[in-house]
Amino acid sequence: MRIALGVEYDGSRFCGWQTQKNGERTVQEVVERALSSVADQDVQVFAAGRTDTGVHAIQQVIHFDTIAVRPMHGWVMGANIKLPKDVSILWAKEVPQAFHARFSARARTYRYLILNRRSRPALMARRATWIHRPLDAQLMHRSGQALLGKQDFTSYRTVHCQAKSPIRTLHSLSVERHDDFLVMEVHADGFLHHMVRNIAGVLIAVGSGDRPPDWAAEVLAHRDRRLGGMTAAADGLYFYRVDYDPQYKIPAIPQDSGLLWNL
């Protein structure tokens, strides 16, 4: 059978999602090890998106195939016993063979969390990006609207990005302030390597007054990463949601997903 899982993780102490040849600690590695133990056979998982070093997930969606028969709650509880405390399986459900965590995805959503105050964080260290200079969230929001639609995001991806095409469709982008926190949410058909962090870097420069409001559009038009400004830190980036055809009945984001996620 094919089983889909929802996975939550704190990426602070992981070298990203994907298993590394050099043996670095990754989320995929620990999840596959835990599921293999429950299945009593090797399990290979496929994810909706690959997150980088230090990036978190509110609900990553993965799938795997197995001949092992377990109740769905058995996969959840059994894996969680084996997993480290910074990774948790949220749910499990059987899905059709046509379902693929990555290729069946219609769109993905990331959220970028900024703590905007003069004093550095303690409780939110490695879970939010700290910017001590005042940021204008409304200005950042307006600037980001220039990125909507089907665009060439060459300027917003790392030079090491392996995607064949830089064309992506950005469905929505918002920046909102909630007291000392700013939340940037981006929703697109797909993302390029470092795309969200590079967008955040440009908008932070706009919000702090270092760059004019039309700079996000100018960077896009250049189609040159060297003119794209800084890449924002991974600390504040969260893989938030994946959209699938309703027929698959993928569970919604849990309502207790933590600070600000229900705003």
- Chain segment 40-89, per-residue pLDDT in tens: 999 999 999 999 999 999 999 999 999 999 999 999 999 999 999 999 99
Domains and CATH numbers, the chain: 2-104 (3.30.70.580), 107-239 (3.30.70.660)
Active site residues: 52
Element of type H or E holding 150: strand 149-152
User: pLDDT tens for residues 120-168?
Assistant: 999 999 999 999 999 999 999 999 999 999 999 999 999 888 899 999 9
Residue 197 has φ and ψ, to the nearest 5°, of -65, -30
Rg (CA), the chain: 19
d(CA 6, CA 238): 14
Q: Label residue 186 by pLDDT band (50, 70, 90).
A: very high
Neighbours of 166 (CB within 10 A): 17
User: pTM above 0.85?
Assistant: yes
C-alpha closest to that of 229 among 247, 211, 246, 241: 211
Of 131 and 227, more confident: 131
> Helix 72-82 vs helix 27-39: angle between axes, to the nearest 10 degrees?
120
The pLDDT value recorded for residue 215 is 96
Q: Mean pLDDT throughout 210-216?
A: 96
Q: Give pLDDT, residue 263.
A: 47
pLDDT at 255: 58
Tokens of 197: 């962090």
pLDDT band at 257 (very low <50, low <70, confident <90, very high): low
Q: Distance between CA atoms of 192 and 189, rounded to whole angstroms?
A: 11
The burial class, CB within 10 Å (0-12 / 13-18 / 19+), for 7 is buried
